[in-house]
Amino acid sequence: MLFNTLATALVASGAALFASASPIESRQTLATVFTSCTVANRVALTFDDGPYNYLNDIVNTLDANGAKGTFFFNGNNWRCIYDSDIRPRVKYAYDHGHQVASHTWAHKDLTTLSWDQKALSRITGAYPAWVRPPYGNYNNLVRQAAATRGLSIANWDFDSGDSSGATPQQSKNNYDARINQHPSTILTLNHETQSGTAYDVLPYAIQRLKAAGYQLVTVAECLGRAPYQSVAAPGTPDSSWTC
């Protein structure tokens, strides 16, 4: 019912914009959705659903291989982003040059519209420019809400399968199959919360991708766009930093 009301309001405002606004303003009312990289020979390794316990190890594996990753973080999903042992991992990933991006606050369907951008900017100083909606699901209401927050949507064109029952070996086979097709680019989906991904699939995929000549970059770099809307000093934790 709430959704219907919002959708009706959106349709009404969209109709008004259509009647009066320029094409540029119309485009800005709906976030752009990207599913593939656009810069040739680049692969984006992305990790959803963190921050979680394996994050530092994933960052270290990426660093050891000269690779960059992108983390679509939740505010409160498997762990609370403000927890004293989790917050530093978010900062660690950011400080090591990996991209931090939004995966919404609580990983609920995005029509509930709650966000984690504030937490990310408090912890890292960077205000994200990218969101991946939970389950990759979006409609015009989601695109409008993302655009209001200055976010573009980044989905994927390759799923390792690690959140839908694939074993690490199956995920590795999935990587092999895609690499053997020699695509110009790959925008991957992996999950930070899977130990098999962190410790088995990721090291393997990095070696295969590098051997195939790909550059392993952030989502922003594989799209030739900015990773953040703004960058400032991080905040100082206080009692309001809580889930």
Q: Which of 44, 48, 117, 193 binds Zn ion (CB under 5 A)?
A: 48
Contact stretch for Zn ion (CB under 5 A) within 5-13, 43-51, 199-207, 228-236: 43-51
Helix and strand totals (H; E) in the chain: 10, 11
Between the CA of residue 142 and those of 88, 161, 166, 199, 223, what are the distances in Å? 30, 24, 29, 34, 21
Site for Zn ion in 49-108 (CB under 5 A): 49
Residue 192 in the binding site for Zn ion (CB under 5 A)? no
| CA gap 161, 165 in Å, rounded | 7
Name which of 159 and 221 has its Cβ closer to Zn ion: 159
| Catalytic annotation, pick one of 95, 96, 191, 238 | 191
Active site residue 96: no
Name which of 132 and 172 has its Cβ closer to Zn ion: 132
Closest approach of Zn ion to the CB of residue 62, in Å: 19
| CA gap 91, 59 in Å, rounded | 11
Name which of 10 and 162 has its Cβ closer to Zn ion: 162
Active site residue 98: no
Give the helix ranges, DSSP H, for the chain.
Answer: 2-20, 23-28, 55-64, 87-95, 117-124, 140-148, 168-180, 195-196, 202-211, 219-223
Closest approach of Zn ion to the CB of residue 65, in Å: 24
Inter-residue contact 175 to 162 (CB < 8 Å)? no
Closest approach of Zn ion to the CB of residue 68, in Å: 20
| Residues in touch with Zn ion (CB under 5 A) | 48-49
Active site residues: 48, 191
